[in-house]
Every structure is written in C-alpha cells, then in structure tokens.
Chains A and B, each alone.
Chain A
C-alpha cells in the first residue's frame, strides 16, 4: 500500500517563529489531508489538498502531486499551535476513501 512519511518527527518552536512540515507519499493520490491533533486529543481538519496551494489564516499548505510531497507552513506560531500534525493520503487506486496516515510531527510552541 501507499507509504506516508512525515518530517521532522518533533519540532520545538519559539512563539512567533515560522516552520515547515513535510509529508512524502509513495504513490499517486487523489486525497491529501492535514490534521491537527490538539492537546485534548481532537483531530481537527486543516486542509483538504490533493494538489495546489491553500491558505487559512497563519497556516498554508502546498501539495505537488507529481513529485509526491506536501508541505504545511505555520507562520507566526502561537502556543495554541502545539500538538501533533498528521498528513494522510488516499491512493487513486482506492475506491472507498481509505486514508493512510503518517506518524505525525509533534510540535511544541513555547512562550
């Protein structure tokens, strides 16, 4: 099946700093999602981005499907950005919407 790898595994940021999280996937995809799992355990949808670039406030994401990677940008980080960021992908050969998750990037934003 499709492999999804995220980097870095851990990230410590000073409040106000910018950062980039990366997601590599091993097959062609028709769904690529970024999630944020907050410290209370909720999985929040950030982006549905099988290709192209999207922005939502201080967060933006870019997926280059032909090169099989996606990037999540966090600008002017805040302590509320802490948590785990997951990338998940669906291969084009899947008929049912099954997502393969990466292992996540643990982000800690310090005041």
Chain B
C-alpha cells in the first residue's frame, strides 16, 4: 500500500507568491496532520483534520496560512503571500483515529519550501 504522498517535494518561490502544498493520506486513515520543521523551532503541528473536518488550527502561524481537506484522500496547505521566514520542510501525516485501537501516525516525505 502506498504511504502518505506529498507534492511537490521541493518548491522554490519568491516572496509574495502563493504556494500550495498537497497531501494524499494513506487510504482508510481518517486523521490528517500538517507539520512544519525548522532548525529553530523543531517540529511544529500546524493543523489537523478528522473525517475531513478541521479540529485544531491553533498552530497555524498567521492568516497567510490556510488548509483544506475537501475529501478523505486530499488536503492542501496554502501560503499566500509567502515570506522568507516560511522557508521550512512541511510534513503531512495520517493515522486511523478512534477512541480505542491502533492510532499509529505515518509521515509523508515532506516538501522543502524555500522562499527567496
């Protein structure tokens, strides 16, 4: 079975441009998580969805960031307008979540974003 799929793997853009990152979770998983990793701040949880519904977006840095999950097999993280400080590796992860049972989380390969 395919793991979590992210695209693009690398993105270089100029300040002010819109950036869209994409994620396809593992089939059958009903929770999806977006993380950001930088040297300074480590691994941060930005937002997560359960059954396509955003549960907690308190980690989203500011209004320039938005995320959607229109269906169970696709999610996007958008930055508009992008700034150099948004440069980071963005990870998507998914898990099957319930009040009991195995809830192992699996990560995609990440998108390395560079904003010039």
Contact = CB atoms under 8 A, between A and B. Distances in A.
Interface in A88-111: 88, 90, 95-99, 101, 103-104
A79 to B, nearest CB: 22
A103 B48 contact: no
A51 interface: no
Q: How large is the interface on B (under 10, 10 to 19, 20 to 34, 35 or more residues)?
A: 20 to 34
Interface in B78-102: 89, 91, 95, 97, 99-100, 102
B110 to A, nearest CB: 6
Given A41-B110, A42-B109, A101 B42 contact: yes
Contact of A90 (B50, B100, B103, B112): B103
Where chain B touches its partner, the secondary structure class is: strand
Nearest to B106: A45
A69 interface: no
B31 A96 contact: yes
A90 B112 CA distance: 27
B43 interface: yes
A95 B42 contact: no
A27 B10 CA distance: 37
B55 interface: yes
A88 to B, nearest CB: 7
A97 B102 contact: no
A111 to B, nearest CB: 26
A33 interface: yes
Contacts of B1: none
Interface of A: 30-31, 33, 35, 41-43, 45, 48, 86, 88, 90, 95-99, 101, 103-104
Given A30-B103, A96-B97, A99-B105, 10 more contacts: A30-B100, A31-B104, A35-B107, A43-B91, A48-B104, A86-B43, A97-B33, A97-B95, A97-B103, A101-B42
